[in-house]
Chain A
């Protein structure tokens, strides 16, 4: 490669800065500045509406940890939700991926597109749809139960404290299992075909293939899926807000709902920011924890 004249190279570099102006401006205004401001204002009693605020030190944080049982009750909902939803979603996603990858190419194409479909449907549509499916009188589930003579099992799925969280988990699984599946599927495409084939020739059955090939060779994807799903569950808002609105009572009220209420209904921005930051730290710690747990063995 011939040496380019210095001048042109310099010109290109300077032009590079101009190309970066829009992204830098937007991210500074809508990402870096708000983060900095969030951190600073979480130490104040700012209402958000007026410019009248004063420093109150760690009071917001102290309050979260000592005098805010509802925050931790909500966190408990998030954690239970995260554990169950993640376990179900990863298991289903993995099984579906193994099945899809062993199909004829035409069916692979069909299923990977079809099963991913719910992922792209707006949460608002999903919730309206599932609320309808869960409706006590004319909903799909109760109609179905009546049709097969199990009337006694009919209930108001989203309004019953025993089933409300379960209903959200089912909807969430329906929504995201395809996402998990596609990630696994894509990882499985990278497994060399001849390795699988020779294992099969040596008499490995399906379960052995899964146990010794599909599962260990998609370990990195399992990590990604785990982290994405768990952190997603800890931050969940839309599906809860739209499906149960936190009810019945506060049985499905999640943390981000409390934050939103504190900020936009009680007008306690400072406190809401502190609540956001605590949630953020919990999410980041969870992420790091899982990376730590899962990382070392990956180096085999």
Chain B
């Protein structure tokens, strides 16, 4: 696994004393593009702190400060409950996913049972399956298991859906780990679980961090499956809840955007926190294959 790619590129030594006109044009275009990306986010944040009159009269600035929007969103809009559901669902899913992925990658990358290679390729094939193919039968499976109306109707299928890509990435990492450490630990009399826990787990932490953020994002944002299986208001996750919320506060832009901010902030925090791993993960072959 090429770890070197994780680091920022060395800047091409290119010192210009005088910038040409085209340089400034380029910079201007780029700032415009960056503004196109970032301004809507800023706009939403700004709107979430304004009174509705201010939203209408003064769309681009801010002359009032209305933190009450957040309180209304939290209680009247039930965002608190949606948030809690999203947090529980996401954490439990990630917990199961990571255990299963670590075990599987360790088996594929280190223990190498007979037929492991064939099984590995077989599992990889599921990466190309579209959700349309599995949604309907999974709905029936989950219903027949009696999971409808419980959180497990989300957690179990979510856990299954994030496994293949994760196992693929982590197996590649595990294969690249130095064998000498294992050998040394084994000679010192450490058992397999001890080696896994004390020697290898610390080594795969960066890769695991990448997976956490990939999968966190997937589960936290998931909408299609939740829309189909969750009918109970008390179990709705944030993405789903926000749709209700939208019809409830159609023209109350302050509250609506406050709900948006609450939905978005956790993902942004996790992303910023792990962002160096995230970009690294992409370069480490997540998508480059």
| Residue positions of A touching B, CB distance < 8 A | 1, 12-17, 19-20, 22-24, 26-27, 29-35, 37-38, 41, 48, 92, 95-96, 99, 101-105, 108-109, 111-118, 120-125, 128-133, 137-138, 140, 143-144, 147, 174, 177-178, 182-183, 186-190, 193, 196-197, 200, 206, 220-221, 224, 228, 235, 237-238, 242, 256, 259-260, 263-264, 269, 272-273, 275-277, 279-280, 283-284, 287
Contacts and interface: CB of A to CB of B under 8 A. Distances in A.
Contacts of A35: 129, 133-134
Contacts of B156: 26, 30
Given A29-B160, A238-B223, A16 B5 contact: no
A114 to B, nearest CB: 6
16 contacts: A22-B99, A23-B123, A26-B100, A48-B140, A124-B239, A124-B240, A125-B239, A128-B242, A131-B246, A132-B44, A137-B56, A140-B59, A143-B59, A174-B36, A235-B130, A259-B132
A14 B115 CA distance: 11
Contacts of A122: 220-221, 223, 238-239, 263-264, 267
A124 B243 contact: yes
A128 B40 CA distance: 12
Contacts of A111: 34
B240 A132 contact: no
Contacts of A138: 55-56, 59, 253
Interface string B266-278: 0110011001001
B256 interface: yes
Nearest to A103: B11
A34 B288 contact: no
Nearest to B36: A174
B282 A121 contact: no
Contacts of A197: 12-14
Given A26-B100, A114-B34, A16 B113 contact: yes
B110 to A, nearest CB: 8
Interface in B105-133: 106-108, 110-114, 116, 119, 123, 126, 128-133
Interface string B85-117: 000000000000001110110111011111010
A95 B104 CA distance: 39
Given A108-B8, A122-B264, A193-B10, A277 B126 contact: no
Contacts of B287: 183, 224, 228
Contacts, number: 263
A276 B130 contact: yes
B21 interface: no
B161 interface: yes
Given A23-B123, A174-B36, A186 B282 contact: yes
Interface residues of B, number: 97
A280 B130 contact: yes
A92 B10 CA distance: 24
Given A130-B40, A228-B287, A280-B129, 14 more contacts: A23-B100, A23-B167, A48-B140, A99-B26, A105-B9, A111-B34, A112-B279, A113-B275, A122-B220, A122-B221, A128-B246, A128-B256, A193-B10, A269-B136
Given A30-B157, A259-B132, A104 B11 contact: yes
Given A38-B136, A138-B55, A283-B130, A125 B264 contact: yes
Contacts of B123: 23, 27
The 6 closest A-B pairs by CB, nearest first: A16-B111, A16-B113, A34-B137, A124-B239, A122-B221, A30-B160
Contacts of A38: 133-134, 136-137
B41 interface: yes
B267 A15 contact: no
Nearest to B55: A138
Contacts of B233: none
A105 B11 contact: yes
Contacts of B136: 34, 38, 48, 263, 269, 272-273, 276
A189 B160 contact: no
Contacts of A189: 5, 9, 283
